[in-house]
Structure 1
Amino acid sequence: MKLSRAALLLSTLVFIGALIWVAVTAGDQVPAHFDGSGQVDRMDSKLSFLLTMGGTGFVMIGLFASVGWWLPKVPAQMVNLPSRRLHEYWTSAENRPELNRKMSEDLDWIGVATALLFAWICVVAGTTTDASVSVWVFVVPTVLYVVAILGYAAFVFMGSRYRVPKD
């Protein structure tokens, strides 16, 4: 099993664990939304929270996890790459399987970060008993998520991962 796929599986299990933990330990009402200062501004039933978070999380994780299945079915002309040269190289019949593998792996890693962020949100909502939390409880993980995704995207697009080999 590829490391990226194992990490996606592990992060999905962490997310499932967070949902189960909320289901077992949270009260009947769970904070469903926090404003910019960390104040709870909407409460939902535990069931509604779990269905919303679980549904959204599993759709997102499913999208990331299924790239290896659906990307090979996407016609070459619909694959968007930064330059014509890259597009011609990576969508050619001999290079397309490698492109599919690399993109699937890259999206696995983005799925890992997303699943962990969703798990964190579940934990925060499940442990909040006051009418507010420190704004940093959301700011730090969200900023780390965005920086990690942007950093990974820069690494992928500016680095050598998709560079056309020299002739």
Structure 2
Amino acid sequence: MKLSRDALLLSSLVFIGVLVWVALTAGDEIPAHFDGSGQVDRMDSKLSFLLTMGGTGFVLIGLFASVRWWFPKLPAQFVNLPTRHMHEYWTADENRSALNRKVPEDLDWIGVATMLLFAWIAGVAGTTTGDSVSAWVLAVPTALYLLAILGYVVFIIKGGRYRVPKD
């Protein structure tokens, strides 16, 4: 199994573990939303929070985990690559199998970051006992997530991962 797939599995288990921990330890009401200053501006029942956060997380896990199955079935005209030349090269029959390995691996890593952010947010909400948290507790992980995703996308597009080899 590839490292990216193992990491996706591990990050998904971390997310599920945090949800179980919140279910067992949090009070009857959990902060469901924080404003920009960290102030709680909506509370939900524990069940509502877990169903919403868990449902969203499980849909994302399903999407990321299933890419290896559905991406190879996607017709070439639905594959979007930065240039026409890249598209012609990577969707050609002789190169499609390499593309079918690369895209799911890239989405695995994006899924890892996403599940870890979800686990963090669920953990913060599940442990908040007052009416606010430090804004940094939510802002820093979110900013790091956005920077990591942006950096990875730049790496994918500009870094040569999908560069067409010279003839």
What TM bracket, shorter-length normalisation? over 0.9
1:57-114 C-alpha deviation (Å, 9 max, x unpaired): 1111211111111111111011111111100000001111110110000000000000
Q: Which residue of 2 aligns with 1:149?
A: 149
Partner residue in 1 for 2:103: 103
Please, which runs of 5 or more residues in structure 2 have no aligned partner?
none
1:11 aligns with 2:11: yes
Figure out how many residues of one structure are paired with residues of the other and give that number.
Answer: 167
Corresponding position of 2:59: 59
Offset at residue 116 of structure 1 (A): 0.1
The equivalent of 1:159 in structure 2 is 159
Structure 1 residue ranges without an equivalent (≥5): none
1:90-129 paired onto structure 2 within 5 Å: 90-129=90-129
Distance 1:153 1:126 in 2: 31
Give the TM-score, by structure 1 length: 0.99
Q: Percent identity over the alignment? A: 77
> TM-score scaled to structure 2, two decimals?
0.99
Q: How far apart are the structure 2 equivalents of 1:63 and 1:97?
A: 20
Q: Distance in 2 between the 1:153 and 1:87 partners? A: 17
Please identify runs of 4+ aligned residues in structure 1 that moved more than 3 A. Answer: none
Where 2:37 maps in the other structure, the secondary structure is coil
Q: Whole-Å Cα distance in 2 between the matches of residues 76 and 128 of structure 1?
A: 47
Give 1:12 shift: 0.3
